[in-house]
Chain A
Amino acid sequence: MCCDKSSIVCCRLEVMSAATRNSLLLPSALAALGTLELVARSAVEGFFHGLHRSRRFGFSQEFAEYRAYAEGDDPRHVDWNVYARTDRTYIRRYEGETNTRLLVALDASASMGYGSGPVTKLRYAQYLAAALGYMATQQHDPVGLMVFDRQLRSWLPPSSRAGSLGALLQALDAVQPGESTDIQTALQPLAGQQGQRGLVALISDLYCDPEALTRAVRPLAQRGHDVMVFQVLDRQEMSPDWDESVMLQDLESGEQREVSPDYLTKVYPVRLQAHLESLRDAVASTGAQHTLVVTDERLDSALRRYLQLRQRRG
């Protein structure tokens, strides 16, 4: 057989061909699936199949330990027998479960609405957020969502209760491109919250000052959060492909600038790389992880980065 019988995900994937599973990681293929729930499930299952059923990153239903019930934990996991004996509420922890709270901070600014292909950056970010949420849910991790642009637009506190994934996906699905970006202002409330430490997945195109990004991420890191910064860019942003001069219009400010292909092929890539380097340095200075994803790439790297970080916390 192809995998461990105890792995639910692997068993589900047994009926899928390898090619189909791999293709499900492509954004264009995911876009055809329609609902975010299906997207998330397909992406995650395809991803795990690509990991060759590694126990290291797999989920397991084997019992590991008890821990005290905390707010937000799924009551279904409460061991009622222990409660009867001790009059205390414990929940069962399984192998591979680290009880990591995941908060997805999704940038929904206007610039995220850009896309030269079938999938915009925001849509790609939605896929990524959904996949992360699905993956966390599978591990019984509480998952939360905050959507922001220049300010906080919506907030879904982390929860591992039944239906929390559905709420997450529903909230994600409703996100539309908004206004300009102000990461520092938007993440400020998150930094001020007193609560359990966890993972913060910041998904944004990061069209911001690296200093501002530092000021936004550093308080989270100082509070013990592990921050993953997923920078989502479109292929056209990475390497513009215009043969003639074009009049570009900023999606956030509405400003227009005429750009020659000479500039786009010679100057812009240099400036972009410099900007990316600055962002990486800024993120690294806070102890966070920076991952650049392009909207025509598979979700592997992002999900892998998440698992690596989660594994390290566990």
Chain B
Amino acid sequence: MWLAPLFLLGLLGIGLPLWLHRFARRTDERRPFASLMLIEAGEVRRSRRQQLRYWLLLALRLALLILLVLALAGPQWPRKPTAGAQTDARLHLLVLDTSLSMQREGVWAKAQQQASAVLDGLHSGDRVLLAAADHQVRVLQPAVFASDAGPLRASLRDQMPGQSRLDYGNLMGAAASLSEGSGQPVVLHVITDLQASGSPLHLADLQPPKGMTLDLIDVGREAAANQYIDAVQLSATVANTVDVTIGGDLPLGKPRELRLLVDGVERGRKLLEAARVAPYVEHFALGELGEGEHRATAVLASGDALAGDDAGHQLLRRVEPRVLVVAASTSGDDAAYLRAALAALEGLRLRVEVIDTATFKRRNLNDYAVVAVADAGQLDAAQARSLQDYAVAGGGVLLTLGPHTVATLPVMGGRAAAVSGVTAQSQAARIAQVDDSHPALRQAGDWRALRFFRHVPVQIAEGTQVLLRLEGGDPLLLQQQPGRGRVLLLTSALDRDWNDLALHPQFVGFLAEAAAWLAGERGRVESATVGSVFTRSLNAGAGVQVFAPDGRRAALLDSGGDELRLAPTQAGFYELRGGGRSQWLAVHTDPRESQLQRMESQRIDEWQQMATPAVQTVAVTATQVGWIPVWFWLLLLAAVLAFIEPLVANSHLSVKREHSA
């Protein structure tokens, strides 16, 4: 094997000494001479010796050239198995579970002991690779012979469990890539606590790669009571109150203290009851909470099985996005419905302002997170254009159609037909198709209960998605994302003559989700989970530096383009610096790691039975056991030859010089 095989082209240079020697020697040419009477017969032997020196010189030069070329090409010699190595040597993948649950007392020490025991039991000809697995699988030490496992043991001692989650399905997928190209039988040693929450949804995801032997080394402990901070958030119902959700499945059996810190200052402390069964919520009234973001951390006093999940983090943002409702009349049904529903939202505090179309032109739309227009056909061309510009610039627009329908739909484009309606309520159209994957419809209930007496059939423009469709196929709710903004259009009016939407409970839920989606980041507090991938849109060209909770700069998955991608590895607050300001990101542990139930034994058995190692008796060949760089030795040999060559050359050429002299 060669590191730089292109250097082998230098072997063509062998032709040079061959050419020189070929032209320099003329021994093969027979020359007539008057008489050999004066030439001894013994001279033939002498000449043979001369020839021998000649060939020796040529061989030396060729060898010197070849050695130099080979040394530059970086040859690697196949490493032979050490003495006593088995011909059925294997590659052992030693994988340590470094997820949060491994922080349980005594678990990690046991895992390290088990790993050492595995290393001790390997044959010297076996190779072993050390990897850590949590939200990702990281190779800590590449494959080395078991007899050379010193660095690997040192690396093992340095490892500590992290705060992220291990998914065994992901681990099985990564194991295949770890063993790729080894050409040897592979044994996968997984040292883990066999946490139930690490098991994937489908058993098939636990299938080890073909031909791999699975060795599950259980270092877990029996399930124990564990409480953790499941959520920290501003109360949706009580102003300036923080709700802390305590998670857990077993009562702790003893009282426990809960503290709330806001911006590093303790703002409350509570003693949790010993017998209380999680989950439950504790409320902390903070008094007046100033504008802007506040870092809130809820901390449980130690005392349960797992300490790593006893803190929860969240950003508290007192934001009240403004919503502008535009209607033909501020006292009409549609305006009243919209104002009432938007003002009643629990999770999103909105400041609603209702205006009529005449006032619309005097408003600066950029002051509002969402603009809702009832009966959008009433807008003139200029108003429609300004609304469209607002949407493209990042605004959220909610449109309904009504009696003032025009041929061209405002903002969204597309064509509108005449109003379609029925007279008898029994003939009302119902919703036939719901795209419940859309955020605006996620919380909605039974849409089929709604009845629509009148609607405006439309022909959608390119880039428009139908979220709700009526029986008969006419679109009822459309969404579009022009530029950076978001637009929803309801092809019916918020009027009792048109439908009974406003009379059903899901109207408020729909409006809440729709308003939240339309408001986008303006009204949302973001958070992330350790090990998950967090993304955020960036202004074009804005550089961002991210600092982890421990103050070190965090590695970004991808900071190119207009998107920030980050996989947090620590719980706490990440600081995002860029564009002249600093933002915070709350990162909390994955609640699934706090659930300490062990995987069912049946599941474990099924998992192990899935491993069907192929019996491989292939002898270890030179190409399978690694490589030893030999360029140094070649270079050394070349140096020796370079020393000898002048000696031979001088001996060979001395006659010439004497003769010339």
Contacts and interface: CB of A to CB of B under 8 A. Distances in A.
Interface of A: 111-112, 114, 121, 205, 207, 233-234, 237, 242-253, 255-263, 265, 267-268, 271-272, 275
B27 A246 contact: yes
B38 A265 contact: no
A258 B34 contact: no
A255 B36 CA distance: 8
A259 B28 contact: no
Nearest to B656: A243
A258 B47 contact: yes
Interface of B: 24-41, 43-44, 46-48, 50-51, 54, 655-656, 658-659
A250 B655 contact: no
A198 B43 CA distance: 44
B655 A261 contact: yes
29 contacts: A114-B34, A244-B26, A244-B27, A245-B50, A245-B51, A246-B26, A246-B27, A247-B27, A247-B30, A247-B31, A248-B36, A248-B39, A250-B35, A252-B35, A253-B36, A255-B36, A256-B30, A257-B41, A257-B43, A258-B43, A259-B39, A259-B43, A260-B43, A261-B659, A262-B46, A263-B43, A267-B43, A268-B38, A272-B38
Nearest to B653: A243
A112 B29 CA distance: 21
Top 10 A-B residue pairs of the complex, sorted by shortest distance between their CB atoms: A114-B34, A207-B35, A248-B33, A258-B47, A111-B34, A250-B36, A262-B655, A260-B50, A260-B47, A271-B38
B44 A257 contact: yes
A252 B656 CA distance: 30
A209 B244 CA distance: 128
A268 to B, nearest CB: 6
Contacts of A265: 655, 658-659
Contacts of B31: 242, 246-249
A221 to B, nearest CB: 25
For A242, A249, A252, A263, which residue has the most chain B Cβ atoms within 10 angstroms? A263
Nearest to A274: B38
Contact of B39 (A234, A244, A268): A268
B27 to A, nearest CB: 5
B32 A260 contact: no
Contacts of B27: 244-247, 258
A12 B237 CA distance: 149
B45 to A, nearest CB: 10
A112 B54 CA distance: 34
Contact of A237 (B26, B34, B658): B34
Given A205-B35, A246-B27, 11 more contacts: A244-B24, A245-B27, A245-B50, A246-B29, A247-B28, A248-B36, A259-B43, A262-B46, A263-B39, A268-B39, A275-B38
Contacts of B39: 248, 257, 259, 263, 268, 271
Given A243-B656, A248-B31, A262-B50, A257 B25 contact: no
A267 B46 CA distance: 12
B44 A258 contact: yes
Contacts of A256: 30
A206 to B, nearest CB: 10
A268 B659 CA distance: 13
A250 B33 contact: yes
A267 B41 CA distance: 13
B50 A114 contact: no
B33 A251 contact: yes
A263 B31 CA distance: 16
B543 to A, nearest CB: 73
B40 A267 contact: yes
Contacts of B658: 265
A106 to B, nearest CB: 16
A110 to B, nearest CB: 9
Nearest to B36: A250
A261 B46 contact: no
A257 B29 CA distance: 12
A122 to B, nearest CB: 11
A270 to B, nearest CB: 10
A114 B33 contact: yes
Contacts of B48: 258
Contacts of B32: 114, 248-249, 251
A255 to B, nearest CB: 6
Contact of A205 (B26, B34, B655): B34
B35 A111 contact: yes
Contacts of A248: 30-33, 36, 39
Max chain B CB contacts within 10 Å: which of A262, A267, A272? A262
Nearest to A246: B31
Contact of A259 (B24, B47, B656): B47
Contacts of B44: 257-258
A263 B44 CA distance: 10
Contacts of A255: 36
Q: Give the one of A112, A234, A243, A251 with max B CB within 10 A.
A: A243
A245 B652 CA distance: 11
Nearest to B25: A244
A263 B34 CA distance: 17
Contacts of B37: 207, 275
A265 B41 CA distance: 17
Contacts of B33: 114, 237, 248-251
A262 B44 CA distance: 12
Contacts of B659: 243, 261, 265
A250 B41 CA distance: 13
Contacts of A267: 40, 43
B473 to A, nearest CB: 101
A306 B245 CA distance: 140
A234 B50 contact: no
B34 A260 contact: no
A257 B43 CA distance: 8
A263 B41 CA distance: 12
B656 A261 contact: yes
